[in-house]
Amino acid sequence: MSAPFSFSLLNKTDNAARRGEIVTPHGKVQTPAFMPVGTQATVKGLTPDDVRGSGAEIVLGNTYHLMLRPGAERIAALGGLHAFMNWPLPILTDSGGFQVMSMSALRRLEEKGVTFRSHLDGTMIELTPERAIEIQGLLGADISMQLDECIGLPAPRKEIARAMQLSLRWAERSKKAFGARSGRALFGIVQGGDDRVLRSESVRALIDIGFDGYAIGGMAVGESQEVMLKIVAETAPQLPRDKPRYLMGVGTPHDLLEAVARGIDMFDCVLPTRNGRHGMAFTRYGAVNLANARHASDARPLDEQSAHSTARSYTRAYLHHLIRANEMLGAVLLSKINLTYYQELMAGMRAAIAAGRFADFKAETMAGWERGDIAPLPAPG
Amino acid sequence: MSAPFSFSLLNKTDNAARRGEIVTPHGKVQTPAFMPVGTQATVKGLTPDDVRGSGAEIVLGNTYHLMLRPGAERIAALGGLHAFMNWPLPILTDSGGFQVMSMSALRRLEEKGVTFRSHLDGTMIELTPERAIEIQGLLGADISMQLDECIGLPAPRKEIARAMQLSLRWAERSKKAFGARSGRALFGIVQGGDDRVLRSESVRALIDIGFDGYAIGGMAVGESQEVMLKIVAETAPQLPRDKPRYLMGVGTPHDLLEAVARGIDMFDCVLPTRNGRHGMAFTRYGAVNLANARHASDARPLDEQSAHSTARSYTRAYLHHLIRANEMLGAVLLSKINLTYYQELMAGMRAAIAAGRFADFKAETMAGWERGDIAPLPAPG
C-alpha cells in the first residue's frame, strides 16, 4: 500500500546543486523542495487545497505545538496528522526541541531530556529523545527528526560543543527508539554552531549512527547569512551523497538560492506566511511592502506576469487596503502569493539544475530581485 | 451593456411568501435572497470565489467603513467597488447611518445630516443624505439606500416619531439627490420602531415619494424576535406588491424563515460570518458550538449529509482544535460553512415557495433545528 522511504538523485549534479526525488508512503517530493510550516496542524489561514495549489508537495508539522494541543495521542486516535488536517501528501515533523528552547520560559535540560512548562496551561512536561520519536510516530510522520539541543549564536565554543555532544547522544537514542518503523524515515541533525571542527565531528558521528537523511540544524538563530552559508558550504559536502540534506528553518528566497547552490535539498521556513500576514509580498522583483502608502491608489497588480492568479487579479491598492484594515483576507491572499512564489522559485531551480544551467538561473533570479519593484505611480498632478 | 434595475414576482405567492427575481446591471438575484456582509470591501476571511461558491448572488458593502478607509473617491478612481474587491455580481450598499450611530462615540445629529468623529483617525466627518447618495454612486452600488436615523429599542414614542419623521425628510432629499441614476436602484427605509401607527405613517409617506424597493429598518436593535416579527407582519402587506422588500440586519436562520413567511424578499446579517469566527456553526440540526469540549475527540464531520464539502470533509475534532487554537483557518472554514448553510436555506425556501409548499418546508426545517445536533460520542471507557 505504501512505498518505503527512498531518495534518489535524478541526474548529475550541476556543480554542487542537486536535483532529486524523495519517495514516501504518502507520495513523492521533488527536490530541492520547500516545506510550508503547518505549526498547529494548519498552514495559517490556508486550506489544504490552497497549500497544494501553491505547488507544495510536503508540509512540516510542529511536534511541540501538537503535543500540547490537541495532543499526540488524540491525533493518533483520530487517524494521525494526515487525516486530522486533511493533508494527504507527505509530512515531516520536527522533534519539538527547537520550540521548547524558543517558546518555553521555564525549562530544565538534563541528559535524559528536557522538562518545560507548557505555554498554554503551565503544566510541566518532559520531552526525551524517546518521547519525541514516540510522538512523531503517533502523528504518523513520513519523516521524523531526532531530538536535539539547538542554541542561539553567538555562543561560547565550550557551550556549542556541549550541546553538539548531547545532541549526538540523543541522536543515538532517537535511532534506537525509532527502530525499523516500516517505510518511514528518521533524519539526524548536525549541530556545532559556527565552528567548522565541531560541525565535522557532528557529521562523522551521525553518519556512524546512520540516518535516512541529514539536517543542518542550529542555523537561522542569530548568525549572519555569510556565516550560515559558510557552514552550509563546509558541511554539505561531508554528508552522504545519496541521502537528502535538509537546512532547518531557512530562509529568505536568497538564502534558498545560495543554499541549493551549496548542495541542500530541503527547506522549511515561516517567512512566506508570517511576512505575508504582515503585508510583505515576495516577488520576482524582490520583496514588496504592501502596507506602504505608495500602493494606496495603485490599480496595478502585484505582478502582472505572475503564473499565480492571485498575484495578477488583485490590485496593489486592494491588498494595501486589506493589510491596513487588518482584514483576514489580506493575510490569506499574501500567504498564498508568497507560498506560490517560493514554490515557483524551487521549481525554477529544479528545472535549471536538470538543464545544467543553475548558475545562469541564479544570476537571472538575483538580477530580478536587484532590479526591484516597479516604479511608484507618478503623484497626481 | 447593463440591464436596468427591475423586480418581478416569478409566480403566485405561497400565502405571504414571495418568489421573485431582481435584475441589476451586474446580474440577477433570486429572491428571497440573503446578502453576505462585506464590511470593509471583503466578506471577512473569504475570497470572492469562496463567497460565490457559497451560493451568494449579491453582497452588501458598508458606506461608513468604506468612506473612512480607503475612501469613496479613491474607490471610484480605482474603478468602483466591484472592481476594487473583485466581485462581479450585484452590490447593495447601506447609507452609513446605522454605523454612524453604532460605531462613533461622538456625533451631532442635525436636520442637515450627522457629523461624527472617525473611529480611525479622529477627524470630524459630515454625512448628509446627499453625501450618502454621492458616496454610493462613487462606489458604483447596484442598489443604494437612503440615509436614515436608526434608533435602538426600547425608546420613548416621541423619540421614535421624531427619528421616523427626520428619516422621511431625508428620504425625500435622498430621492432628489439620486435623480435618474441610470439603471441603478434606490431603496427607502421604513422607520417607526415598535409602533404600528408610526410604521404605517412611514410606509405611506415613502410610497408617496416612490422608491425602487423598500426596506424595513430599525429592527434587530434590541427588540425581541416576537416584536420584530409583529412589526414585519404588520408592515410588509402595506408595501407595494411589485417592489422588493428588504429586512435590514436580520438575522438568525429562524428569523429568515419567519420573515419570508411574512413577505420579505431580502436580508443581510453578519451572524453567519461573525459567529463562525467564534466557533458557532449553523446546521440543519441547529447551531453547534464547536468550541465545546464535547467535540475535542469527535472524528465525525459537522454534517455528513451536507451538500457542502467543507461541512463533510473536516472532523468536528479538527474544527474544535482550530477554534481553540485561535487559528485563522477555523474562522475561514466556519464562515464558509455558515454562509453556505444560509444560502442553502434560502434556496430551499425559494424552491418550496415555487412548489407551493412553503408551510411544509418551514415545519420540516424547524423540526430539524428542534431535533438538535447529533448525540455526543460516548465517554471512553
Which residues in chain B touch residue A85, judged by CB atoms under 8 angstroms apart? 318
**Is A293's Cβ below 8 Å from some Cβ in B?**
no
Assign A380 a pLDDT band (cuts: 50, 70, 90). low
Among the partner-chain residues B41, B45, B299, the one whose CB lies closest to the CB of A78 is B299
Provide the CA A295 distance to its chain's centre, in angstroms.
30
Mutate which: B318, B322, B323, vs A, most A CBs within 10 A: B318
pLDDT tens, position by position, B276-322: 999 999 999 999 999 999 999 999 999 998 888 999 999 999 999 99
Touching check for B309 and chain A: CB below 8 Å?
no
Mean residue pLDDT across chain A: 95
Look up the pTM and report it: 0.97
Please indicate whether, in this complex, the C-beta atoms of A77 and B297 are within 8 angstroms of each other.
Answer: yes
State whether residue A358 sits within 8 Å of chain B by CB. no
For residue B130, pLDDT over 90 is answered with: yes
Rounded-to-integer distance, Cα B172 and Cα B177, Å: 9
Run of H or E including A197: helix A196-209
Contact call for residues B331 and B276 (beta carbons, < 8 A): yes
The average pLDDT across B167-184 equals 96
Which pLDDT score is estimated for A11? 80
What chain A residue is nearest to B68 in terms of C-alpha separation? Answer: A325
Tell me: the pLDDT tens digits for B190-227? 999 999 999 999 999 999 999 999 999 999 888 999 99
Provide the grid cell at A152.
Answer: 542561539
Amino acid at A366: M
Marked catalytic residue, from A14, A50, A94, A212: A94
Is the Cβ pair B315, A41 closer than 8 Å?
no
Asked whether the beta carbons of residue A69 and residue B40 sit closer than 8 angstroms, the reply is no
Nearest to A329 among B45, B69, B317 (CB): B45
Is A333 in the B-facing interface, judged by CB distances under 8 Å? yes
Q: Which distant-in-sequence residues (6+ apart) come within 8 Å of B197 by Cβ?
A: none
pLDDT tens readout for residues B45-92: 999 999 999 999 999 999 999 999 999 999 999 999 999 999 999 999
Measured torsion, CA atoms of residues B289, B295, B298, B299, in degrees rounded to the nearest 10: 50
CB contact under 8 A, B321 and A41: yes
Q: Give me the mean pLDDT over the B342-351 stretch.
A: 98
| Residue corresponding to grid cell 442553502 | B344
A278 contacts on B by Cβ (under 8 Å): none
Q: Are A74 and B296 an interchain contact pair (Cβ–Cβ within 8 Å)?
A: yes
* DSSP label at residue A311: H
Which helix (H) or strand (E) element contains residue A77? helix A72-77
Tell me which residue in B78, B299, B327 faces A299 most closely, judged by beta carbons.
Answer: B78
Candidate from B45, B78, B333 with C-beta closest to A332: B45
One-letter-per-residue 3-state SS of chain B: CCCCCEEEECCCCECCECCEEEEECCEEEEECEEECEECCCCCCCCCHHHHHHCCCCCEEECHHHHHHCCCHHHHHHCCCHHHHCCCCCCEEECCCHHHHHHHCCCEEECCCCEEEECCCCCCEEEECHHHHHHHHHHHCCCEEECCCCCCCCCCCHHHHHHHHHHHHHHHHHHHHHHCCCCCCEEEEEECCCCCHHHHHHHHHHHHHHCCCEEEECCCCCCCCHHHHHHHHHHHHHHCCCCCCEEECCCCCHHHHHHHHHCCCCEEECCHHHHHHHCCEEEECCEEEECCCHHHCCCCCECCCCCCCHHHHHCEHHHHHHHHHCCCHHHHHHHHHHHHHHHHHHHHHHHHHHHCCCHHHHHHHHHHHHHHCCCCCCCCCC
Closest partner CB to A317 (pick from B47, B78, B328): B78
Residue B1 has pLDDT above 50, yes or no: no
Q: Which grid cell is B349? A: 425556501
Distance (Å, rounded) from C-alpha B275 to C-alpha B279? 6
Using CA coordinates, name the residue in chain B closest to A316. B84
Task: Answer yes or no: is pLDDT of B381 > 80.
Answer: no
DSSP bridge partners of B289: B280
> What pLDDT score was predicted for residue B380?
66
Asked whether the beta carbons of residue A299 and residue B79 sit closer than 8 angstroms, the reply is yes
CA A270, A275, A280, A286 torsion: positive or negative? negative
Do residue A40 and residue B327 have CB atoms under 8 angstroms apart?
Answer: yes
Residue A1: its pLDDT value, please? 45
| Test the B interface: residue of A75, A78, A300 with most B CBs within 10 Å | A78
Please say if the pLDDT value at position A105 is more than 80.
no
With 0-12 CB in 10 A as exposed, 13-18 as middle and 19+ as buried, what is A114? buried
A86 to chain B, any CB pair closer than 8 A? The answer is yes
Over the stretch A71-103, which tens digit does the pLDDT of each residue have? 999 999 999 999 999 999 999 999 998 988 887
Average pLDDT over residues A112-132: 94
Contact A78 B327 (CB under 8 A): no
pLDDT digits (tens, 9 = 90+) for A292-323: 999 999 999 999 988 889 999 999 999 999 99
Give the three cell numbers for residue A318. 486592494
Work out the number of other CB atoms within 10 angstroms of the CB of residue A236: 21
Among A40, A78, A325, whose Cβ lies nearest the Cβ of B40?
Answer: A325
CB A227 within 8 Å of CB A194:
yes
* DSSP bridge pairs for A215: A189, A246
Q: CA geometry: angle at B6 spanning B5 and B12, to 5°? A: 160
CB contact under 8 A, A297 and B77: yes
Helix (H, G, I), strand (E, B) or coil at A357: coil
Q: State percent of chain B over pLDDT 90.
A: 88
Which of chain B's residues have a Cβ under 8 Å away from the Cβ of A320?
70
C-alpha cell at A253: 528566497
Residue A47 at interface with chain B, using a CB cutoff of 8 Å? yes
Look at residues B54, B321, B292 and name the one whose alpha carbon lies nearest to residue A83: B321
Question: CA B191 to CA B218: how far, in whole Å?
Answer: 6
d(CA A360, CA B214): 66
Q: Is A210 left (phi over 0), alpha (psi -120 to 50) or beta?
A: left
Q: What are phi and psi of A280, to 5 degrees?
A: -100, 130
Predicted-complex ipTM score: 0.96
Rg of chain B on CA atoms, in Å: 21
**Nearest-5° Cα angle at B270, B184 to B9:** 45
Could you say which of A268, A298, A303, A373 is catalytic?
A: A268
Measured distance CA(B190)–CA(B177) in Å, rounded: 19
Residue among A40, A74, A328 minimizing CB distance to B297: A74
pLDDT class of A381 with cuts at 50, 70, 90: low
Contact criterion met (CB < 8 Å) for B84 and A40: no
Neighbours of A324 (CB within 10 A): 19
Q: Average pLDDT in the A179-207 region?
A: 96
Q: Does B46 touch chain A (CB under 8 A)?
A: yes
Residue B119 has what pLDDT? Answer: 86
B93 within 8 A of B63, measured Cβ to Cβ: yes
DSSP tag of A376: P
Q: Does B78 contact A at CB distance below 8 Å? A: yes
The SS3 assignment for A179 reads coil
Cα of B279 to nearest chain A Cα, Å: 15
Locate the chain B residue with the closest alpha carbon to A297.
B74
> Which residues are CB-contacts of B251 (< 8 A; sequence separation ≥ 6)?
B220, B225, B228, B259, B267, B269, B271
Q: Given this model, what pLDDT does residue B333 score? A: 98
Q: Please name which of A141, A127, A125, A2 lies closest in space to residue A76, comparing C-alpha atoms.
A: A141
Chain B residues close to A79, C-beta within 8 Å: 299
C-alpha cell at A271: 517567512
Chain A, 228 to 287: residues with Cβ < 8 Å from chain B are none
Query: Are residues B78 and A46, on separate chains, in Cβ contact within 8 Å?
Result: no
CA-nearest residue to A310 within chain B is B47
Instruction: Measure the CA–CA gap between B120 and B104, rounded to whole angstroms.
Output: 10
- Cα distance between residue A288 and residue A301, in whole Å: 12
pLDDT for A378 equals: 85
The whole-angstrom separation of Cα B341 and Cα B334 is: 10
DSSP A127: E
How would you classify the pairing of strands A286-289 and A37-38?
unpaired
Question: What is the C-alpha to C-alpha distance for residues B64 and B331, in angstroms, rounded to an integer?
Answer: 24
Residue B2: predicted pLDDT: 58
Q: Do A84 and B44 touch (CB under 8 A)?
A: no
Give the separation between CA B147 and CA B117, rounded to whole angstroms.
18
Which residue among B313, B318, B333 sits closest to A84, beta carbon to beta carbon? B318
A137 sits in the region (left: phi over 0; alpha: psi -120 to 50; else beta) called alpha
Size of interface A-B (CB pairs under 8 A): 101
Are A324 and B42 an interchain contact pair (Cβ–Cβ within 8 Å)?
no
Angstroms from B299 CA to nearest CA on chain A: 6
> Looking at residue A41, what DSSP letter applies?
S
| Enzyme catalytic residues of B | 94, 268
> Are A313 and B86 an interchain contact pair (Cβ–Cβ within 8 Å)?
yes
Kindly state whether B41 is in contact with chain A, defined as any CB-CB distance less than 8 angstroms: yes
Q: At residue A132, does pLDDT exceed 80?
A: yes
Mutation test of the interface with chain A: which of B39, B42, B51, choosing the one with the most A Cβ atoms within 10 A? B42
Of A42, A296, A314, the CB nearest to B86: A314
Rounded to a whole number, what is the distance in Å from the CA of B293 to chain A's nearest CA? 11
Instruction: Please name the amino acid found at residue A280.
Output: M
Q: Given this model, what pLDDT does residue B323 score?
A: 98
